[in-house]
């Protein structure tokens, strides 16, 4: 039998809109919890090349030392070209405002979003903060200063 996920953390959540939904996991081993659209009216259309900030009606209280990453849903990206512009978007543990998702339509036709539709996924992750120290030089590696695309063919 395979290893199971790490122990779940309690995350306090506030519903800020009467039709807001608690994020849900699509399966027992899903890493990302689905976030749902909340807006006035029943639907919104995102035209090709258009960005739209979509409310979720949800605020969360993360544990110190964690973050929430907002990522695209693969089905929306594959079928419609709908993605999260700043993927992954970062929600810091001290942020208490509404989670909002910046969607971009990279496809060639308008996409209709319905109220209550799953629009993104949220992954809770540990954070390691760096302590930055100025150095005169850095240790050499076999890669050195070779940048973009330098490790592939």
Please report the pLDDT score of residue 1 as a whole number. 47
Cβ–Cβ < 8 Å for 103, 21: no
Q: What average pLDDT values come out for the chain (153 residues) when binned by 10 residues?
A: 65 97 96 95 95 97 97 90 94 97 96 96 96 94 78 66
Nearby residues of 104 by Cβ (< 8 Å), 6 or more positions away: 46, 49, 50, 51, 82, 83, 84, 85
Q: What domains can you pick out in the chain, each with its CATH number?
A: 12-126 (2.70.40.10)
pTM assigned to the model: 0.86
For residues 44, 121, 101, 62, the Cα torsion angle rounded to the nearest 10 degrees is 140
Nearby residues of 143 by Cβ (< 8 Å), 6 or more positions away: 150, 151
Q: What CA–CA distance (Å, rounded) separates 102 from 94?
A: 20
Q: Output the CA–CA distances (angstroms, integers) from residue 23 to 46, 90, 99, in the order listed.
A: 23, 16, 11
């Amino acid at each position: 039998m395979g290893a199971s996920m790490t122990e779940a953390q309690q995350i306090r959540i506030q519903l800020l809109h009467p039709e807001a939904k608690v994020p849900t996991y699509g399966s027992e081993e899903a890493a990302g919890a689905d976030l749902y659209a909340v807006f006035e009216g029943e639907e919104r259309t995102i035209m090709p090349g258009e960005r739209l900030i979509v409310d979720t009606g949800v605020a969360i209280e993360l544990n110190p030392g964690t973050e929430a990453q907002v990522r695209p849903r693969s089905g929306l990206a594959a079928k419609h070209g709908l993605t999260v512009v700043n993927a992954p978007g970062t929600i810091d543990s001290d942020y208490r405002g509404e989670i909002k998702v910046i969607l971009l339509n990279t496809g060639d036709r308008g996409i209709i979003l319905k109220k209550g539709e799953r629009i993104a996924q949220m992954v809770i992750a540990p954070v390691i903060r760096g302590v930055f120290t100025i150095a005169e030089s850095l240790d050499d590696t076999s890669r050195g200063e070779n940048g973009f695309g330098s490790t592939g063919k």
